[in-house]
Structure 1
Amino acid sequence: MLRRRPSLLIRPELDDDALHAILAELRPAQQLHGLGAGRTRPLWEPVAELLHTTGRDWDRRVHRISVLAGSLPAAVAQRWVGDRPGDGDALVLQAFTLSGRAPAEGPAAARRAEQACLHAAQACPEDPTPWLALLSLLHSCAAPARDVVPVWREAVNRAPWNRTAHHRLLHYLSPRAHGTVPDMLDFAEQCAARAPYGSPLALLPVAARVELVAHRLRQDPLAALGASGSWNEPRAAKEIDGALTGWFHTAAAPHAEAVTDLNFLAFALTRTYRPAEAAAVFHRIGRHMTNHPWDLLADPKRTFLYWRDRSAGRRGK
């Protein structure tokens, strides 16, 4: 009998099973406009319990709050703030929710979101998360660097090596957003060089390389044809080696978005045709594929499965 291949898990919560359970419980409530009709307790209570157990793990806190804000009805945060006006977790979730929706709703909504971020920051003075919500808002609104960098510094002053903070500024500096190629690559290289051993920031230059490829693919057809050559540059091999030795091969505990970083690393190793090293990365990824960066290829899922299955065969030898 043929063994059925397990389906891929492509989801914003990644491998966070506790977060997945909360989303599975609350997502049907979208049909009820987030008001919790028919429930014995408010919709926000399981979210409050999850964030309480998360504590001061800032890395996991920002991952969970950003996913919750993007997945749940806005009414969940609104009701929570209404029921518990001074609750810091409620204010931070509301800040993320408003910041994510504001760019599509106009300048007035952006101003309300900014005030919500500052209010949450005042309520949670040691927490970098409200500043990351504000950083995302400023990015979406194309704010100038003189306004963005101080907000980023507020976040890293509270969590110096926070992965999300560095990746969000990297995206701001990307030529696909508001920066330039030299600024983006230099920022990634400098952060990786200063990061402690075992930090996921060792992979920041690889993420910058992916952004560079995405930028080139968006250019004219001739530039797109040559985009794959980005992986043949000597600097690319150095970036991948740094990610392997500085993060992947260390004994560092998995961080909240490790699945995302593993997908970036596997993608880079396949683009540079290093299947032996990719095998160990795919083994750790398992079923948890992320849409990006595989979406830069013509057939993302098929390509991912090809390399994963090829890697599994290599490991079995």
Structure 2
Amino acid sequence: MAQISRLLDQSRADWDRRTHQLSVLAYRLSESHGPRAWATREPRNASALVLSAWTQLEHGRSRGRLEDAAGIADSCLRAAELAPEDPTPWVVLLGLSRLERRSQPEVFGVWNEVLTRDRWNREAYLSMLRHLGPEETGSRIQVLDFVDAVRARTPADAPCAATELTAQVLQYHSVLALGGVEALMARNHWSHASAAQALDRAAHSWAGPGSSTTRRPSPT
């Protein structure tokens, strides 16, 4: 865990990178006891606590049930106390709230805690996108309203700028999952006006290679 600790220490100044690193590590280590052992050895290490909580969340998601939801929440809250400026404990709590099918006001409350610390947190926006979808507690209309609101206020170079396009990809996959004739017709999704416009906006507004734009613009 020493290498992971050094990696996470290096990304503390970039919340987008840190969140992404933790999400990838949690997914890859979801069957490992290493993160929990690390948190046990270093109970005042915020990175260890968040990684342990996130791996348990990923493990529970893959198994369809959580072994210790209260323990995950406790680890996140302790990490939040140790590093109050860090959005990642709240990102994990957001995922936990979704998996437990908490009410939308509760989930939005946790989401706002993330945004207070990192206005354009990619993982938080994508998490809310899934939460508001019909597969969880919302509807297609709620997804569209959310995407419209995000598009209206998000800078083109913000980490969460792909939210609109991600919504289109999720919609495409949901049609594929229906099977039958609907799946055969899914290829037409990208010719629909909303999907085509999302692709056009991405092509014209996303920062290209070598761009001097910042990755984490200040909130307005």
Q: TM-score, structure 1 length as denominator?
A: 0.61
Alpha carbon RMSD of aligned pairs, Å? Answer: 2.4
Match of 2:122 in 1: 163
1:178 match: secondary structure: coil
* Residue 136 of structure 2 is aligned to residue 177 of structure 1: yes
Which ranges of structure 1 fall in alignment gaps of 5 or more residues?
Answer: 1-43, 257-317
* Residue 59 of structure 2 is aligned to residue 101 of structure 1: yes
Greater gyration radius: 1
AA matched with 1:102: G
Deviation at 1:200, TM superposition (A): 4.1
1:96 match: secondary structure: helix
* Separation (CA, whole Å) in 2 of partners of 1:222 and 1:252: 46
* Separation (CA, whole Å) in 1 of partners of 2:117 and 2:149: 19
* Residue 121 of structure 2 is aligned to residue 153 of structure 1: no
Retained in 1: the 8 A contact 2:157–2:215?
A: no
What pairs with 1:14-33 in structure 2 (closer than 5 Å)? none
1:121 match: secondary structure: helix
Match of 1:57 in 2: 14
Cα separation, partners in 2 of 1:107 and 1:211, compared to 1, 3 Å = closer
How many pairs does the alignment contain?
A: 213
Retained in 2: the 8 A contact 1:199–1:247?
A: no
* Separation (CA, whole Å) in 2 of partners of 1:92 and 1:60: 15
AA matched with 1:50: L
Output one character per residue of 1:5-58: Cα deviation in whole Å (capped at 9) or x when no partner: xxxxxxxxxxxxxxxxxxxxxxxxxxxxxxxxxxxxxxx211111111112211
* Separation (CA, whole Å) in 1 of partners of 2:192 and 2:202: 16
Match of 1:186 in 2: 145
* Residue 31 of structure 2 is aligned to residue 47 of structure 1: no
Q: TM-score, structure 2 length as denominator?
A: 0.85
Match of 1:232 in 2: 191
Output one character per residue of 1:141-176: Cα deviation in whole Å (capped at 9) or x when no partner: 222212211111110111001111111111112223
1:218 match: secondary structure: helix
* Separation (CA, whole Å) in 2 of partners of 1:115 and 1:150: 17
Deviation at 1:77, TM superposition (A): 2.0
* Residue 40 of structure 2 is aligned to residue 69 of structure 1: no
> How much identity, in percent, do the aligned residues show?
32
Retained in 2: the 8 A contact 1:173–1:184?
A: yes
Match of 1:223 in 2: 182
Retained in 1: the 8 A contact 2:39–2:45?
A: yes
Retained in 1: the 8 A contact 2:15–2:87?
A: yes
1:226 match: secondary structure: helix
Which ranges of structure 2 fall in alignment gaps of 5 or more residues?
Answer: none
Deviation at 1:233, TM superposition (A): 1.6
Deviation at 1:111, TM superposition (A): 2.0
Deviation at 1:140, TM superposition (A): 2.1
Match of 1:24 in 2: none
Match of 1:315 in 2: none
Q: Identify which of 58, 78, 98 aligns with 1:119.
A: 78
Deviation at 1:107, TM superposition (A): 5.6
Deviation at 1:60, TM superposition (A): 0.7
Retained in 2: the 8 A contact 1:127–1:158?
A: yes
Match of 1:19 in 2: none
Deviation at 1:64, TM superposition (A): 0.9
Deviation at 1:92, TM superposition (A): 1.4
Deviation at 1:227, TM superposition (A): 2.3
1:51 match: secondary structure: helix
Output one character per residue of 1:48-79: Cα deviation in whole Å (capped at 9) or x when no partner: 11111112211011111122122235432223
AA matched with 2:181: L
Match of 1:269 in 2: none
